[in-house]
Amino acid sequence: MATVRFDEATRVYPGNDTPSVNKLNIDVQDGEFLVLVGPSGCGKSTSLRMLAGLEEVNDGKIWIGDRDVTDLSPKDRDVAMVFQNYALYPHMSVADNMGFALKIAGVDKSEIRKRVEEAANILDLTAYLERKPKALSGGQRQRVAMGRAIVRSPQVFLMDEPLSNLDAKLRVQTRTQIASLQRRLGVTTVYVTHDQVEAMTMGDRIALLKDGILQQCATPREMYDSPANLFVAGFIGSPAMNLVAVPAGPDGARFGSHTVPLPRERSEHGGKGVVVGVRPEDVEVTTNPDGLELTVDVIEELGADAYVYGTPTDPEVTLEGGDDNLAKPFIARVDGRNVPAKGSKIFVYPKSEHLHVFDQASGKRI
Amino acid sequence: MFATSVATITAAGTASKLGTMVLGLAVFAVVFVGILLFASLFKGRVGEKVQAVAFVGPTLLFISIALIYPAILTIRRAFYDGKFFDLNFGSLRSRGKFVGFENFQLLWTTPGLPEVFRNTVFWVVLVPFLATAFGLLYATLIDRARGEAAAKALIFLPMAISMVGATLIWKFVYFYNGDPGSNQTGLLNAIITKLGMDPVDFVGNAPGNTFALIAIMIWIQAGFAMTVLSAAIKAIPDEIIEAAKLDGVSGLKMFRFVTLPSIRSSVIVVLTTIAIATLKAFDIVQASSGGKLGDSVLANEFYNRSFVTQQPGLGAAIAIVIFLLVMPIIVFNVIQFRKDA
C-alpha cells in the first residue's frame, strides 16, 4: 500500500501540439479511492496509463510511495490494472489467469493456489476456477479481472472503466461491490470512468479533467456543493445544474424579480457577465409572480419527485450548456404530487443558501 | 513436343486460340445463366431444393470428372502392370495385367526407392518446422519495427517465384566448378574459396544435396509462414499484451506464455499447410537434378516412375502413399478447426 503522486505529469502524443495530459498534480492518500472522471478525450485514461507505465511521461514525475516510478517499466511498479475489456488470457483457465503474475514472479505453486482460492472465494468465483474465460458471462469475466488484480496484492489498483461493458443493473451492483471490496482491502485505488454517477458513488475523492487539465480534485460532497468552475458545475450532478446567464441589475445580477447578491467588485458593474448556478432541487417553484418566469415544456414524473423542464420567457436570460454548450432547458425538482401543468407559466427562484455564482468569461466560481 | 508447339504459335494461331477461349467462356456463361434461370422457375420448398441442386450440382459433377474419377483410375492402376501407353490407350490384348500388390512390394524392393522415402522424411520434418520457425522469428522481430512493410515484402517475395525459378536462382548460389584451381562463380563457393577453404559441390552429392534443396523450399515457404503469423500476432489485443506487461512478463516469457499460445491455431495451420505443400513438391528436385543424384523425393519419383521409367503401376502406388501421408495432416487440421470453432 502506498500513496500516489502526480507531479506536473505531462503527456504529449507524438504529432500533437497540445498535451493530452497537461501538468497534472494529484496526491492520492494511502488507501484512498480516487476517481478520475471527465468527458471522453479528457486525458483520464492517459493519466492512468502513465501511472501504470504503459504511457510515457514526457514531463514531470510520478511517485508511488517514496519511489520515483516515472521511468520504471510497468512490471517494476507493483501496480495491478483492471482493463475495460478485462484483457483475460483466452488460453488460460480462470485460476491460471489469476495466478499468472505470481507464476511469473516465481512464487511457490501451493502458495499461488492458496491465494487464488482466497481471491476466488471473495469474488464468488470458486466454481469457475477451471473454466476458460470464453465460458464465462460478462460479469464473471469482470470479477476474474478483479481477482487477477487482488491476487497480486499490489501497492496500487488501477481500474480503467471496468464496468462499462456490463449491463445497467449489473453495473450498479458491481459498483457497490468494488467500492466495498476496496474499503475492505484498503489498497490505494485509482479508478477511471466517464460516468459522474460512478464517480460520485465510489470515490473518496474525485478528480475531474477536461482537455488534459485538472479542473477540480475534491470529495464528492465538495464537488457537488462548491464546484470550482462552470465546467465542474455542469458535469457533476444529474440532472445537471441550471446555469443561467442573467442580465445585470443596479445592485447585482437579476434573477427575474430577485436580485442575486454579488461581491462588491462585481456588483459595481451591476453584475454584468455572471452566471448563476442553481441545482434543480434548490429551486423554489411558485405560481406567484416571484422570481424568473418559465414556460413549462416537459414534466418528467419519477414517482416521489418530478422534474419540470421549462424555458425562460425573458429572452435576455440564457442557459449555459455546461459541458456541451447546447441550449438547455431550466430544470426544477418539484413534489411529485403537486406538478404544474404543461404549457403553464411558473416562477422560480433559487434558495439563497445553495446558490453558485460564476464569472462568465473565465468560468471561475465567484 | 515443346519445340513444335513453339513453332506453331503464329499470329493466326494465336487469334484462333483467343477465339476458342472466348467461345468457351461464352458457352460457360450461357450454361451457367441457363441453370440459374431454370432454378428460378421453381418457387417455394421445391424451388429451394432445385436451387441447391443447381448450385452444388455442377460442382459435384466437375469434381467427379476431374478428381474422383482420376483418383479411382489411379488406385486401379496401382494394381496393374504395363507401360503408360498400354494402360491408357492400348488395345484390350496389350493392356497391362492385374498384378495384385506387386507394385507396392516394389516400393521397398526397387533400388533407390528407400532413399527416396528417407529424403522425403527429411523434407517433411525439416521444411515445415524450420520455415515456420524462421517465419515466426522474423514476424516477431519486425513487428511494429520501422520499415516493417518493406521488410515483410522482402521475405514474402520468394512466394511469388515459381519453385523452378527459385531452384534456378539457387543453382547460381550453389554452383560448383569441378575444375580444380579455376574460379568459383557460384555465390557460396566464391565466398568459401575467398575464405581459403575448398569449394563444396552442394547439389552434386547425396545425402548433402537433399539439405541444399530443402533450404530452397524453406526460403520459399518462410515468407508464407511470416505473413500468416505476423497477421496473427497483430490480431492479439493490445490490452492482453499490456496486461501481461503489468503482470511482469517481458521478452522471451512474453513470447512463450502470451504470444505463442495466442497464435497457436495459426501456427498449426501454417505447419500443416507447408507440410502438405512439401509432400507435393516435385519441382525443386526435378529442376535440380531430376532426382538422379540420390536427392529424389516421393512426388518427383511419382513423376519419374509414371512417365520416365514407364512403370505407371509403381507411380500410382507412390501417389497413393503420398495421399495416405497427407490424409492424417488434413484430418488433424480439421480437428483443430473444430476445436477452435
ipTM for this prediction: 0.82
Contact A100 B242 (CB under 8 A): no
End-to-end CA distance of chain A: 39
Domains of chain B by range and CATH?
A: 2-104 (no CATH), 110-310 (1.10.3720.10)
**pLDDT tens figures, B144-196:** 788 888 888 888 888 888 999 999 999 999 988 877 777 888 888 888 888 88
Single-letter code of the amino acid located at A327: A
pLDDT of residue B306: 86
Q: In what order do the strands lie in the sheet with A59-64?
A: A21-28, A4-11, A59-64, A67-68
Answer whether A83 sits within 8 Å of B242, measured CB to CB: yes
pTM across the whole model? 0.77
Inter-chain touch B257–A75, beta carbons under 8 Å: no
Rounded to 5 degrees, φ, ψ at A133 are -55, -30
- pLDDT band of B85, cuts 50, 70, 90: low
Residue in the structure block whose three cell numbers are 522415402: B117
Closest B-chain CA to A153: B247
Is A52's CB within 8 Å of B250's CB?
Answer: no
Rounded to the nearest angstrom, the minimum Cα separation between A90 and chain B is 8
- Asked if A104's CB is within 8 angstroms of B261's CB, the reply is no
Q: In chain B, what residues touch A48 (CB-CB under 8 Å)?
A: none
Rg of chain B taking only CA atoms, in angstroms: 26
At residue A349, φ and ψ (nearest 5 deg) are -145, 150
The mean pLDDT of B280-291, rounded to a whole number, is: 88
- CA-nearest residue of chain A to B242? A54
Buried b (16+ CB within 10 A) or exposed e, B244-271: bbbbbbeeeebbebbbebbbeebbbbbb
* Spatial separation of the C-alpha atoms in residues B143 and A173, rounded to whole Å: 41
Q: List strand residue ranges (DSSP E) for A29-97, in order.
A: 33-37, 59-64, 67-68, 79-82
Does A75 contact B250 at a Cβ distance shorter than 8 Å? yes
Mutation target to probe the A interface, by most A beta carbons within 10 A, among B246, B255, B265, B336 is: B246
| Chain A residues within an 8 Å CB radius of B248 | 75, 101, 104-105
Strand, coil or helix: A50: helix
Cα–Cα distances in angstroms (integers) from residue B108 to residues A296, B58, B114, B278, B314, in the given order: 98, 41, 6, 22, 11
Per-residue pLDDT of chain A (366 residues; tens, 9 = 90+): 689 999 999 999 998 889 999 999 999 999 999 999 999 889 999 999 999 999 999 999 999 999 999 999 998 899 999 999 999 999 999 999 999 999 999 999 999 999 999 999 999 999 999 999 999 999 999 999 999 999 998 999 999 999 988 898 999 989 999 999 999 999 999 999 999 999 999 999 999 999 999 999 999 999 999 999 999 998 998 888 998 887 776 677 788 888 877 776 666 555 567 888 899 999 988 888 888 889 999 999 988 899 999 988 887 777 876 445 556 789 999 988 888 888 889 999 888 888 888 888 888 888
Asked if A74 contacts A64 with a C-beta cutoff of 8 angstroms, the reply is: no
Asked if the model's pLDDT at residue B73 lies above 90, the reply is no
Nearest by CB to residue B240, choosing from A87, A101, A152, is A87
CB atoms within 10 A of CB B129: 14
B-chain CB neighbours of A75 within 8 Å are: 245-250
